[in-house]
Amino acid sequence: MQGVNSHKTQEWLQSPLGEALLQQEARVVEEALDGIFGEQCLQLGMWGENRAFMRFTRTQRCAVIAETAAGVPSAIGEFHRLPIESDSIDAVLLPHTLDFSDRPHEVLREVDRVLRANGHIVILGFKPGGLWGLRRLIPGAGMPPGADHLISDRRLRDWLKLLDMRILGEQRYFFRWPLPRKSVRGSLKWELRGQALWPELAACYMLTAQKRVSTMTPVRPLWRRQPKVVAGLAEPSTRASKIRFIRSGFDTND
């Protein structure tokens, strides 16, 4: 599995097209995270700078787990085997993480496992069609290196519903030709026009969903030891997993 924080991917994000994409995604992620509160927010995969999106969180703590040390994430681990206790995270952000994963079902199941009841998931993805669907016909055009597992927003909706998640909303964005070396001028007016008139031509989409509350409430013994929070992360599960911490825990928002 090639991580979303590979060196070539980060180089693509530094191109004019990549920078314009990150700017637009900062807007949509800020809006999505604005009403999500709680204790802990987790981002899987490095996409841009370390705090490109985590600076918008409203939770008390936040962290980025990546598959390599590139970009200095909070920790290194496998997305399909997270070393995090079940029902311990309030929000999870997947910035194109599934586009680079050959195990998308397993990643989503892990996200569902670590999310608390009523926890939120925010997913950014590339649309297989739209303007960027013509990339094979345009010389020099293309997706970021390694983004070989694109999932349509319709299919992703079905997968989330199978996990019994409630779909809260979807937004399609970024109406630009996929030309990495061409200067790209961002325009909020152009984005709003594209969303209103031709949403199917968008290059990307954002899906937000919420984990449903279980209809059964287990009765726990009063003497049960409360889970500890180690360096900002919930107590790891006993599942075998490879992880190496880069820094001590979560960054605390100012």
CB 90 within 8 A of CB 62: no
Q: What are phi and psi of 173, to 5 degrees?
A: -150, 170
Residues 46-56: tens digit of each pLDDT: 999 888 999 99
Orientation angle between helical segments 104-114 and 153-162, nearest 10 degrees? 50
* 3-to-35, 49, 121, 195, 247 alpha-carbon distances in Å: 29, 15, 20, 30, 19
Give the fold, CATH level 3, of 7-247.
Rossmann fold (3.40.50)
Q: Domain-by-domain residue ranges, the chain?
A: 7-247
Listed in order, strand segments (DSSP E) in 69-150 are: 75-77, 89-95, 115-126
Kind of pairing between the strands at 204-211 and 115-126:
antiparallel
CB 248 within 8 A of CB 231: yes
- On the question of pLDDT at 249 being above 90, the answer is no
CB 74 within 8 A of CB 249: yes
Measure the CA–CA gap between 183 and 22, rounded to whole angstroms: 14
Helices of type H across the chain: 7-13, 16-33, 104-114, 153-162, 188-197
Measure the CA–CA gap between 224 and 112, rounded to whole angstroms: 24
pTM: 0.80
> Which has more pLDDT, 180 or 112?
112
CA-based nearest residue to 2, from 98, 114, 111: 98
Measure the CA–CA gap between 61 and 58, rounded to whole angstroms: 8
State mean pLDDT over 234-246. Answer: 49
Q: Residue length, the chain?
A: 254
Residue 237 pLDDT class (50, 70, 90 cuts): low
**Average pLDDT of every residue of the chain:** 81
What is the residue type of 129?
A: G
CB 63 within 8 A of CB 251: yes
- On the question of pLDDT at 218 being above 60, the answer is no
Measure the CA–CA gap between 182 and 15, rounded to whole angstroms: 9
Kind of pairing between the strands at 61-66 and 165-173:
unpaired
Residues 64-111: tens digit of each pLDDT: 999 888 778 889 999 999 989 999 999 999 999 999 999 999 999 999
Q: Which residue's structure tokens are 């960054």?
A: 251
